[in-house]
Structure 1
């Protein structure tokens, strides 16, 4: 399911962000430019991240999966930022803990069942440290897509 909603134009490699909010804003802008989300998407994701954080401690390369309600979404999509330097995201398990995140998957989905399925798909991917290392080292969006679809 991930490969059907993530395309090369929604993958940002060597992304620069000084904060979680900046990383989310970068992906929200990419999704909005692609016509997948409303202008309200970015602020809504940032607000949701404050109350229900999505940072995941995975080991050497950590991830976050920010998302929000479907009312901000025009068409299903996932955007991915591979940050050149980790930025702190609050932990999903302990909101007071900050996790240095390199991979940010921004979900923009219109169906609640699809959101659950997508989260499961991404969580499965994130459990493979070699895939995470490959994504972090990828030199092109197509390389990321081939790693994800393998």
Structure 2
């Protein structure tokens, strides 16, 4: 699986304003829908799944969330990424009683559920690099974020 092929510059949003996790999921889900990556059912399915299986991931200063849902709601694979203007609370995946103030949200749309563990493992190279996450958070444009991610995968030869 070539992870870089899942990232598209036009699926990266900077300065997204949202009051809560559902607004973030809706914004990214609608973007994926408008670009032809997911079915209309995607947004509701992600919101429903997030309630049962939270995806907030605390990583010191730059926290993130990786909402996703079942393959049946996806037409073709992609990752939509939002850099939030202000952090939004997501439930912590390790302890749903706790909340995570997410700065970055990676909404994953996969049409083959067998690839999900592989993808998450490969994305960990981004998630574990706090300096890279900070650079993404502080970037002003989708094109610069896309270039940063592309360079990261090229350097690590993660494909």
TM-score of the two chains, using structure 2 as the length reference: 0.92
CA deviations on 1:17-67 (whole Å, 9 max, x unpaired) are 100000000000000000000010000000000000000000101000000
Unaligned runs of 5+ in 2: 152-159
Q: Runs of 4+ in structure 1 displaced over 3 angstroms?
A: none
The number of residues matched between the two structures is 150
Structure 1 match to 2:23: 22
Structure 1 match to 2:34: 33
CA deviations on 1:94-115 (whole Å, 9 max, x unpaired) are 0010110010000000112321
Secondary structure class of the residue paired with 2:18: coil
How far apart are residue 147 of structure 1 and its match? 1.2
Structure 2 match to 1:48: 49
1:10 aligns with 2:7: no
**Distance between the aligned counterparts of 2:16 and 2:119, measured in 1?**
23
Structure 2 match to 1:98: 99
**Distance between the aligned counterparts of 1:123 and 1:18, measured in 2?**
27
**Distance between the aligned counterparts of 2:24 and 2:123, measured in 1?**
18
**Distance between the aligned counterparts of 1:89 and 1:109, measured in 2?**
21
**Distance between the aligned counterparts of 2:86 and 2:94, measured in 1?**
23
**Distance between the aligned counterparts of 2:125 and 2:47, measured in 1?**
24
- What RMSD over aligned residues (CA atoms) do the two structures have, in Å? 0.8
**Distance between the aligned counterparts of 1:2 and 1:114, measured in 2?**
10
CA contact (8 A) 1:64 1:104 kept: yes
Unaligned runs of 5+ in 1: none
Secondary structure class of the residue paired with 1:125: helix
CA contact (8 A) 1:2 1:78 kept: no
CA contact (8 A) 1:3 1:145 kept: no
